[in-house]
A and B are shown apart, each in its own frame.
Chain A
Amino acid sequence: MAAAGALSVKEAASAAERAGGPPSRDEVARRLAAVVGEAHVLTDPAALLVYEADGLTHGRTAPDLVVLPGSTEEVVGVVRVAREAGVPLVPRGAGTGLSGGARPVPGCAVVSLARMRRILELDLENGWARVEPGVINLDVTRAVAGAGWYYAPDPSSQGVCSIGGNVAENSGGAHCLKYGFTTNHVLAAKVVLSDGGVVDLGGPAADAPGYDLLAALVGAEGLVGIVTEVTLRLLRKPEVTRTFFATFPSTDEAGAAVSAIIAAGILPAAIEMMDRLAIEAAKAATGLDWPDVGAALLMDADGPRAEVEHVSERAIALAREVGALEIRVPRDEAERQLMWKGRKSAFAAVGRISPSYLVEDGVIPRSEIARVLREIGRLAAGAGLRVANVFHAGDGNLHPLVLYDARNPGEEERAATLGGEILRICIRAGGSITGEHGVGAEKAAYMAEQFGPDDLETMQRVRCAFDGAGIMNPGKVFPTPRLCGEKPGPYRPHPAERAGVAERW
């Protein structure tokens, strides 16, 4: 690890003292410009506007400035400047996150990795790709698809989201039921720590000696450092994919079908559920001729031909046994893509049937799907709101979309309350408050409901090992941030305190 030149907390504090207090924003901008070039530091309020939020558009907060480093060395320079000036850093990929993970905090600098978008190396002998964090998820697959390979994690935003953001959020997607999440596909990473040190974690060869720090990095939502290179595992495209679309009278039967398929020993590549409202929305957006039914499933099986055909037939038979109304098998790849387009567009499509909506992301044990959906329906009716459900049924990852109209007084608040109640249902069912969107700024408060104080304090210790200064993406994940390695002595405001995201007592 490149400890040379790293700045301790004490040194940082004394540097600030010598300068007579924290430097002004203009001074910080000037120092950052010396690192990345003037063109890559944004301070103009109009230019900052787009950085006030990520995919979660409420709770907008203006950053002090935005800096766009172009290399690992420049990221190191940026971190040193920020550390010395006591400026919190908010790393940002493509800004598509849905939990406010890239939401600025007051007085922060947003570090956009958008300029670091080179694919550094494709090694199909070993099945590895080394990329910069700003590379778009789907571009990795595009770069190797011609040779029959792909990158497995496929969040719905894969056409626009970045690998760096995927690493931060441990992104999943429809096909992680079989193939796992980002954490199962990251082999190595280069990370800039808050002390300006650069560390190489992982392999890419298997089982590097020492702690599995990649496990701590992936899914840490930018709290442990800034990733500047990632080595990804690539997979060969499965030989065959078989898809079917099945409709059901209600989510009860669709849930029973999912359970029956899993109980038969089948591991689908993906199995997605939509309820009546979601189907209606998808139809409105895509013009698909889906029937007006209570629920639908879309399932992929993939792998070697004989296994897949067998599994696909079994799954269809099971769906019929539990009451499927209709089974549609796409005639060709184009029709298959259209079915998936209907599923993937369902989120945005809800905008066609409601002026506004909240996207929730919670996980429940798969066997609880039907019961929990009924409970959500009851709660929604009680709140006078509609909820559309379109989700990854195979792993119980719900995405309830709470529909509301902000023009009606009090409706937005009722929607937010309902969203929170849904998360509590997930926790009570033994599940999780997030399956793939992350905790971010949005759900930090709910962490204290899913985890106990000792659990959170232990996780904070892990964070402290990486970022003792607490300048990396403060205010995210943890409901009450802990300051690391406190020693008795005169009081000095901590960067996180100045940013208003942590308090000392």
Chain B
Amino acid sequence: MTAALREAGPPDAVLGLSPRVAVEPATVPEAAEALRALAADRLAVVFVGGGTDLELGPAPARLDAVVHTRRLARIREHAPADQIVAVEAGITLAELQRALAPHGQRLALDPPHPERTTAGGAVAANAFGPRRTRYGSVRDLVIGVTMVRADGVVARGGGKVVKNVAGFDLPRLLCGSLGSLGLVAEVVFRLHPLPEESGTARIPGLAAFDVRRLARAVLDARLEPVALAALPDAERFALAVRFEGFRPGVAEGLERLHALAAREGARSERLGAGDEAALWARHDALRGGGDVRARATFPPAAVAAAIEALRPLEGALGGGGTVIHPALGIAFLAGRLGSATEAARAVEAARAALATIDGPGRAGLRGTLVLTAAPPALRALADPWGEPPAALELMRRLKRELDPDGRLAPGRLAGGI
């Protein structure tokens, strides 16, 4: 079996760069063979899944070839009793969830665009959605990986059991690596049961300070929501609180939330099923709106300061808005680019403010702001990643060990890696 290299066309472009060739392997051996061939010709390669996070990171410094995973898209093994699934990289999350649902199971990972986001892409881009509040990000759900290295060597890490400490943790190491250490060719995930019931309540009319206060109260009351997100609500925020589980648990969670909100001087409204779906769809739409998108991370206690830090950037962009995950210390901001100069200044200002955000009792807890999407005009003025990571030199050494010629997604990662 051989996946032939073909001449690349406009749909193969990555952030404005057009590769010369493209290849679409249908099996892991084909992918390995393709990478060996690309290695022999010393070609610079970018791996592409559903393309949902292709705008994350700078454009590749060089680009000769694109490897698509769309034909590498089978479920290799689903063991419902063991709550694991092994899939090829190119399967979309939506297709995977459709296959799991009849067994009463799901992958508890809910980034936007599940119909396009692929399993391999989710790992490479460290994708996550609102349920991260309960289930963690992809790094907390991936238990095994098969990678194809720059030299075409196929290597496995982790395995098919959740509890496993044998060897170095390649699966988690690849999370967020953007294909710069190798092709994520197969992934093994741990699964969770589909909940019997879901319920979301909305607490509207909150100032930034109240978002933190209410979120803190919900967590302190140990109600254990699966998602907690503040969405724009006129000039203020509405806190969405989602419960999932067995019916008695969800019912109790919503009741107690109602009482808690009242005690805090706020009002919670339980949403009907249609409104619940609409609210979380709005969350995803806000997160993915516009042509400039940013992700800010900060100490969870500093929600109000983080919102303050993001205001100038929000002001510099048209439309869109900011959604906040107060339990995680993460905010997503999106909008349309007006003046690139003004936006770049606002990005720098936000970074400076987030970098010096202080939690109580300790100075210098650092927050970050990453541009997850931006038009070339803004990219030219602002590094998508911001300041290089503290351990940059070590990261470079890791990159050299696994991709000595610097051919995989060169320049895509923080610090120019």
Contacts and interface: CB of A to CB of B under 8 A. Distances in A.
Contacts of B40: none
Given A430-B161, A435-B163, A210 B168 contact: no
Contacts of B368: 205, 207-209
Interface stretch (A50-58, A177-185, A342-350): A177-185
Interface in B115-155: 126, 136-137, 139-140, 147, 149, 153-155
B289 interface: no
A263 interface: yes
Contacts of B401: 461-462, 464-465
B234 interface: no
Contacts, number: 291
Nearest to A429: B161
Interface stretch (B91-99, B307-315, B386-394): B386-394
B163 A436 contact: yes
Contacts of B161: 363-365, 395-396, 430-432, 435
B305 to A, nearest CB: 12
Nearest to A439: B166
A148 B165 CA distance: 30
Contacts of A237: 222
Nearest to B298: A205
A455 B170 CA distance: 9
Interface in A303-357: 303-311, 314
A299 interface: no
A468 B140 CA distance: 29
Nearest to A259: B81
A373 B79 CA distance: 20
B173 A434 contact: no
B139 A212 contact: yes
A265 B155 contact: no
Interface string B293-306: 00101111100000
B180 to A, nearest CB: 8
B78 to A, nearest CB: 12
B236 interface: no
Contact of A451 (B153, B167, B224): B167
A441 B163 CA distance: 20
B51 interface: no
A236 interface: yes
Contacts of B114: none
B85 to A, nearest CB: 13
B162 A395 contact: yes
A436 B196 CA distance: 32
B359 A126 contact: yes
Contacts of A396: 82, 161, 163
B2 to A, nearest CB: 21
Contacts of B140: 180, 184
Contact of B251 (A148, A306, A433, A459): A306
Interface string B160-178: 1111111111101101110
B362 A123 contact: yes
A8 interface: no
Given A126-B359, A207-B126, A212 B175 contact: yes
Contacts of B156: 451-452, 455
A100 interface: no
Contact of A209 (B149, B252, B256, B414): B414
A263 B82 CA distance: 9
A435 B164 contact: yes
A177 B162 CA distance: 9
Contact of B170 (A184, A213, A462): A462
Contact of A236 (B176, B222, B394, B398): B222
B395 A213 contact: yes
A447 B249 CA distance: 43
B245 interface: yes
A432 B164 contact: yes
B320 to A, nearest CB: 21
A505 to B, nearest CB: 21
B219 interface: yes
Interface in B224-275: 224, 245-249, 251-253, 256
Contacts of A211: 173, 176-177, 181, 395, 398-399, 413, 417
B402 A435 contact: no
B219 A219 contact: no
B393 A434 contact: no
Contacts of A219: 165, 168-169
B328 interface: yes
Nearest to B369: A209
Nearest to A395: B163
A198 B102 CA distance: 50
A496 to B, nearest CB: 17
Contacts of B157: 455, 458-459
Contacts of B330: 206-207
A454 B154 contact: yes
A218 interface: yes
Given A203-B297, A310-B246, A456-B167, A212 B360 contact: no
Interface string B375-417: 0000000000110111111110111111000000000011101
Interface in A185-217: 193, 197, 199-201, 203-213, 215-216
30 contacts: A125-B360, A126-B359, A148-B220, A180-B136, A180-B140, A181-B163, A205-B298, A205-B367, A206-B328, A207-B370, A210-B391, A210-B395, A216-B173, A220-B168, A220-B169, A265-B195, A303-B224, A304-B222, A305-B252, A308-B249, A310-B248, A364-B161, A365-B79, A365-B81, A395-B162, A462-B398, A465-B394, A465-B398, A465-B401, A477-B167
